[in-house]
């Protein structure tokens, strides 16, 4: 069994994908060909924003946003403590200080209460200047922008939506990757919309920011790539990845997003009946739609979680722990156990979460295999 069955997806889309890959190969337009521009147009229309600028990967997308805003040493950027390293890494790479805030145990996303407490604390201390919030759409569920945006506006902060896992999610019909002043996503193969390598995109409604981002991703170009007017990076999406993504975007819109939600409903229905309150299942708030990058449950403690994971593995069922260590405890950031902000929810989640196989091509038999094994392991 595959955790996310990309082989099955390819077998379904093989004819179309093979055709576009051959077309790109025959064209010799391997960098920034017409497929890139067409994809950017399609992605902007789907998300509902004016501008989509593709790039080499999701981390570059975040870094380009930080560069476009011109943040520097002494600036504070607020990041959820329960996320992948890149969400905080890009803050430090820009010379700023990441301030990690706790998450909500139901949604796994940034806690608005913890965020505001951290903003107030940083403001009172006066060592750092609060500048922005990195709001991560974790496991496919958009962050609570209904609460985060008013806080950002109240304190004059910019919002960077890290939609690497959230592409396709919604809040009241509005698409993920449209909620930030700048939003980003990743096309890493295992993401809700993935290519056959690395890829990413930046979204914004701001015309000036879009022009700046287009410059930064190509060595800070001016009128052309040999006219360099600012420091930039080399971060372009290859034509072949753009062509593949056009095929996969159509499948994603036509049926994959619906199908992955049906898989989640079946998981939740069966496990709710089997476990009651013994295992905490994903919670989707009213008005929200998840794209289900992961289907994540919570066990009672680390020992139980690890033993269940091992029991599933013995039956050939892959599972993953996202994430094993809180961001503030990662050695690279240098905070350690004396971190001055309360991130107790995150620390608990790192001990208890377990993600199950999840993708649009799971059959009822696949779901039954996983849930039967999980029930046996827990009991």
CB atoms inside a 10 Å sphere around CB 168: 30
Closest among 259, 200, 197 to 43, alpha carbons compared: 200
Go through the domains of the chain in sequence order and give each one's CATH number.
6-248 (3.40.640.10), 255-378 (3.90.1150.10)
CA 115 to the chain's CA centroid: 19
**Against a cut of 0.85, is the pTM above it?**
yes
Q: Are 99 and 78 in contact (CB under 8 A)?
A: yes
Q: What is the pLDDT of residue 277?
A: 67
Structure tokens at 15: 């004819």
Q: How far apart are CA 285 and CA 281, in angstroms?
A: 13
CA-to-CA dists, residue 32 to 28, 37, 67, 189, 236, angstroms: 11, 8, 22, 20, 7
Q: How far apart are CA 149 and CA 245, in angstroms?
A: 30
Per-residue pLDDT of the chain (379 residues; tens, 9 = 90+): 999 999 999 999 999 999 999 999 999 999 989 999 999 999 999 999 999 999 999 999 999 999 999 999 999 999 999 999 999 999 999 999 999 999 999 999 999 999 999 999 999 999 999 999 999 999 999 999 999 999 999 999 999 999 999 999 999 999 999 999 999 999 999 999 999 999 999 999 999 999 999 999 999 999 988 999 999 999 999 999 999 999 999 999 999 999 999 999 999 999 999 887 679 999 999 999 999 999 999 999 999 999 999 999 999 999 999 999 999 999 999 998 889 999 999 999 999 999 999 999 999 999 999 999 999 999 8
Q: What is the pLDDT of residue 294?
A: 98
Checking DSSP bridges between strand 295-298 and strand 75-80, what pairing results, if any? Answer: unpaired
């Amino acid at each position: 069994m595959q955790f996310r069955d990309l082989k099955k997806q390819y077998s379904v889309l093989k004819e179309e994908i093979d055709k576009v890959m051959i077309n790109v190969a025959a064209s010799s337009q391997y960098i920034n060909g017409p497929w890139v521009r067409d994809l950017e147009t399609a992605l902007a229309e789907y998300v509902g924003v004016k501008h989509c600028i593709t790039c080499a990967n999701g981390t570059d997308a975040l870094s380009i946003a930080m560069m476009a805003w011109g943040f520097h040493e002494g600036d504070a950027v607020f990041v959820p403590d329960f996320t992948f390293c890149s969400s905080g890494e890009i803050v430090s790479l820009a010379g700023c200080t990441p301030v990690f805030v706790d998450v909500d145990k139901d949604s796994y996303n940034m806690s608005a209460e913890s965020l505001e407490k951290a903003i107030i604390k940083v403001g009172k201390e006066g060592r750092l200047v609060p500048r922005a919030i990195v709001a991560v759409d974790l496991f496919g569920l958009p962050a609570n922008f209904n609460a985060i945006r008013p806080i950002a506006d109240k304190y004059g902060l910019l919002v960077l939506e890290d939609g690497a896992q959230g592409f396709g999610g919604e809040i009241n019909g509005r698409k993920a990757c449209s909620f930030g002043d700048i939003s980003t996503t990743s096309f890493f193969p295992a993401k809700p919309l993935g290519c056959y390598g690395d890829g990413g995109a930046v979204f914004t409604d701001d015309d000036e920011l879009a022009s700046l981002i287009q410059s930064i991703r190509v060595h800070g170009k001016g009128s052309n790539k040999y006219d360099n007017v600012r420091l930039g990076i080399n971060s372009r999406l290859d034509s072949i990845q753009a062509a593949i993504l056009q095929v996969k975007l159509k499948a994603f819109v036509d049926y994959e997003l619906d199908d992955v939600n049906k898989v989640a409903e079946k998981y939740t229905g069966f496990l709710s009946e089997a476990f009651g309150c013994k295992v905490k299942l994903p919670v989707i708030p009213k008005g929200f739609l998840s794209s289900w990058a992961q289907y994540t449950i919570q066990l009672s403690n680390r020992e139980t979680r690890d033993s269940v994971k091992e029991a599933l593995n013995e039956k050939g069922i892959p599972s993953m722990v996202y994430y094993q260590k809180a961001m503030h405890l990662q050695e690279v950031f240098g905070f350690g156990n004396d971190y001055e902000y309360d991130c107790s929810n995150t620390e608990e989640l790192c001990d208890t979460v377990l993600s199950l196989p999840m993708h649009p091509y799971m059959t009822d038999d696949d779901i039954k295999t996983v849930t039967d094994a999980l029930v046996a392991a827990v009991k």
